[in-house]
Amino acid sequence: MNNSLVEYIMHLADNSLIHGHRLSEWCGHGPILEVDIALSNIALDNIGAARSLYEYAAEIEGNGKTEDTYPYFRDVRQFKNSLLLELPNGNFADTIAKCLLFDTYQFYFYTALKNSSDNRLAAIAEKSLKEVTYHLRFSSEWVVRLGDGTDESKQKMQNAIAEHWEYAGELFAPSNIELEMIEQGIAPNIDALKDVWQQKIAETIEEATLSFPLSNEKGWFQSGGKKGIHTEYLGFILADLQYMQKTYPNSEW
């Protein structure tokens, strides 16, 4: 069971790490100073959550592993983050659309994970939920501002949500490891979270005077990240993230 638990923890950690890394790329490039600082802080929150999860995985595995082992010394196929999170930042509306979809998911996910039979995961969820509550407020408010703003901002926000929508379905498609953890009461039933997630998304989009529901008649969505099959973008992220450790092994600040 320990191997399955570690793999599940790594999936959660990888989601937070890759999302946080992408948001950190906005540092110094935000449209206004307030947003620049906010995105940097949200990035740090996600990376902090990833650190807590990697630390827990290292304690379970032992063998000299640390929280740094997982982000710095794994290959692309070993990462199990959802594809949505590795997509390029694009313009500001693209990033906000991605944040809305993931922040809403994280809010309901951590709310449910607080009841995990694993006390450590429950504690991480409780702490993270406080941060995610702010993340969701930030992304929701910006969707409304852009959607109910100028003709240009409205169109960009509508396009951004439509383009990222097909990646959101993977969040609710449980992997075999997730199904195992759900059965043991460790993980929440993510499929059961989809309706409340979609309702919240719909409310935000409608408040922003944007179009909803979005068309996806066949119910098809992009997937593969949970199985280690990624877009080309993750390789570039890891090349940046892992450069120092691979060039100067065991280097420390």
pLDDT (tens digit, 9 = 90+) per residue, 206-231? 999 999 766 555 567 999 999 999 99
Return the DSSP state at 82.
-
pLDDT value for 11: 98
* DSSP state letters, 5-62: HHHHHHHHHHHHHHHHHHHHTTTTT-SSHHHHHHHHHHHHHHHHHHHHHHHHHHHHH-
Angle at alpha carbon of residue 161, lines to 151 and 188, rounded to 5°: 150
Mean of the pLDDT values across residues 44-64?
96
Q: With pLDDT > 70 as the criterion, what percentage of the chain qualifies?
A: 97
Provide CB contacts within 8 A for 19, sequence distance 6+: 46, 81, 85, 102
Per-domain boundaries in the chain: 2-247
Q: Among 121, 111, 94, 128, which Cα is nearest to 16's?
A: 128
pLDDT tens digit sequence for 160-218: 999 999 999 999 999 999 999 999 999 999 999 999 999 999 999 999 999 976 655 55
- Is the model's pTM score more than 0.85? yes
CATH class of 2-247: mainly alpha
Residue 22 has pLDDT above 90, yes or no: yes
- Look at residue 250 in the predicted model and tell me its pLDDT: 79
- 146 contacts 157 by C-beta, under 8 angstroms: yes
Rounded Cα distance, 204 and 185, in Å: 31
Q: What is the pLDDT of residue 214?
A: 65
pLDDT tens string 105-161: 999 999 999 999 999 999 999 999 999 999 999 999 999 999 999 999 999 999 999
